[in-house]
Structure 1
Amino acid sequence: MIKTPKNPFKQALHEGRQQYGYWLGLCSPLSSELCGYCGYDWLLIDAEHAPNDLRSIHAQLLAIATTPSHAVVRIVEGRTALIKQMLDLGAQTLLVPMVETAEQARELVRAVHYPPDGVRGVGTALARAARWNQLPDYFAEVDQELCLLIQVESVTALEQLDDILSVEGVDGVFIGPADLAATMGHLGNPAHPDVKQAVETAIDKIRKAGKAAGTLVTSPALAQHYEQCGAQFLALGVDTLALAAAARNTLATYKSSPSDLAGDGNGGY
């Protein structure tokens, strides 16, 4: 009998295990699958800033499902209908941006659950998540395997953080450093001391509330610092930035020392 897939990411968070992730913005199932074999616990499919749509997200969910990594989908906004579509596609973990109040958080919790606990529409005959009505245990198991992460990324959100953290059904809180820095008057500088202090304080509050704290940090030193502060799920890089850096480095290396490259026997790929 086919059973509802388990969510290893959610289980790891609830058990207090560290989870390292990588941000995907190339919208490619091929590159997503490649990253899935690179050792990361989770991969974030970005549909807020990257040009992803339902079909490209579906393709990447299929690709990542073949790998040891777990797919997390960041949607563009917390609309109930959009959440329903993502869950029906088979996303088990959602990251919802720009959450600023406890009421928003409560509405998101309702959006991921079926009635009577929520408002998610029932359409399992058309849903990959339920394997098109071929998972007999789906309704009994689905709530245990869905993971809701909310993103706080403004001064307003941090001011309301205690109330937000009181909402049952939120598994983790992700601190968005870029937008937070902007709202604090430090646009483009998420490593500013004031921003770092705000992130540290938020991580401490999140952990004390019994929820998992996470963030995206491309600086290894700063990532280690936030992990020591208690951040449990950390995104350590972005595929678009890595590709651009590698492409620039390849050209710069060739131009700077062509004589040193003579005799390299590894001429293929």
Structure 2
Amino acid sequence: MNLPRNAFKAALTSTQTQYGIWAGFANGYAAEIIAGTGYDWMLIDGEHAPNTVPSVLGQLQAVAPYTTAPVVRAVTGDANLIKQLLDVGAQTLMIPMVETAEQAQSLVRAMRYPPHGIRGVGGGLTRATRWDGVPDYLTSAHEELCLIVQVESRIGVENVEAIASVEGVDAVFIGPADLSIGLGHAGNPGHPEVQERIRHAVDATLAAGKACGILAPNEADARRYQDWGCQFIAVAIDISLLRQSAQATLARYREPGTPQTPSRTY
């Protein structure tokens, strides 16, 4: 059996924008529905959604037959958690709140086997190896693994050049919500200071030769970030889509009330 190809990692080398969707329902049934809608990638959120390693596994299995590429966001950069997520078959990991090059280097090591890292060997116990069905997995796994680090704080943006330059970091993902609140502009990623910091992070990432992504459920934001050079953009969130659609449907049958404007962050 061949090493499973990472379609998301391959797509980052393309000039075509990759449009993604946040998956926050934390179950395989909902994830499979999303995977069948045609987005280029989906974020299985282990930071703010109630996911565990087994629930992430279930979603990876549910979306495997589809072309939408799964990206798994861990709640933390803990090396033991990274090991578990990789062993159940995640090939692309997003790690939140990365603020230094040293932290990024530690994440790279957590994703690689010795002598280049510290990842433990699970062998025939793991889905990643297809239970020892992939020959030479130990020496070739890194070729199809993709590490995305999130830069979403004042300190992270200050260090983004060094972070993006770390060998083994494949992409930088900017978190406008955390960045805006960290800069004193809670809920307002459109504030000029926040926008300037986002633009700086995008430019620095591209200058380092790495792909840059961002969460932008607001269309005007998404198109602006695309113009700035972001190659993968999350333009939708499943929970928000359900809530907004449910509200809009009910509003057709009730007296007009105060219109609700979708959030520019979540």
What TM-score do you get using the length of structure 2 for normalisation?
A: 0.94
CA distance in 2, matches of 1:26, 1:175: 22
Structure 1 residue aligned with 2:245: 246
Letter in 2 for 1:25: G
Contact 1:3–1:137 under 8 Å retained in 2: no
- On the 8 A contact 1:178/1:187 being kept in 2, the answer is yes
1:216 aligns with 2:234: no
Q: Spell out, residue by residue over 1:246-266, the C-alpha distance to the aligned partner (whole angstroms, 9 max, x if none).
A: 111111112249xxxxxxxxx
1:225-240 aligned within 5 A: 225-240=224-239
- Structure 1 distance, partners of 2:137, 2:253, is 55
1:118-168: per-residue Cα shift (whole Å, max 9, x none)? Answer: 100001211111111111242243111000000000001111112112210
Contact map agreement 2:164 2:171 (CA 8 A) in 1? no
Gapped regions of structure 1 (runs ≥ 5): 258-269
* Other-structure match for 1:23: 22
**Which residue is equivalent to 1:267?**
none
CA distance in 2, matches of 1:200, 1:119: 34
Alignment of 1:1-269 (within 5 A): 2-256=1-255
CA deviation after TM superposition for structure 1 residue 3, in Å: 1.2
Q: CA deviation at 1:53?
A: 0.5
Cα distance in 1, alignment partners of residues 75 and 112 from structure 2: 19
CA RMSD of aligned residues (A): 1.2
2:264 aligned residue: none
Q: Percent identity?
A: 50
How many Å separate the matches in 2 of 1:81 and 1:6? 24
Cα shift at 1:82: 0.4
Please give the alpha-carbon distance, in whole angstroms, between the structure 1 residues aligned to 2:28 and 2:191: 35
Q: Distance in 1 between matches of 2:176 and 2:203?
A: 15
Higher helix share: 1
Q: How far apart, CA to CA, are the structure 1 residues paired with 2:136 and 2:14?
A: 24
Alpha-carbon contact 1:3-1:138 (below 8 Å) kept:
no
Runs of 4+ residues deviating >6 angstroms: none
TM-score (norm 1): 0.93
1:49-77 deviation per Cα after TM superposition (whole angstroms, max 9, x unaligned): 10001111011000111111010000001
Partner-residue secondary structure (3-state), 1:169 = coil
Partner SS for 1:244? helix
Deviation at 1:178, TM superposition (A): 0.4
1: CA distance between counterparts of 2:38 and 2:151? Answer: 27
- Counterpart AA for 1:101: T
Structure 2: tracts of 5 or more residues without a match: 257-266
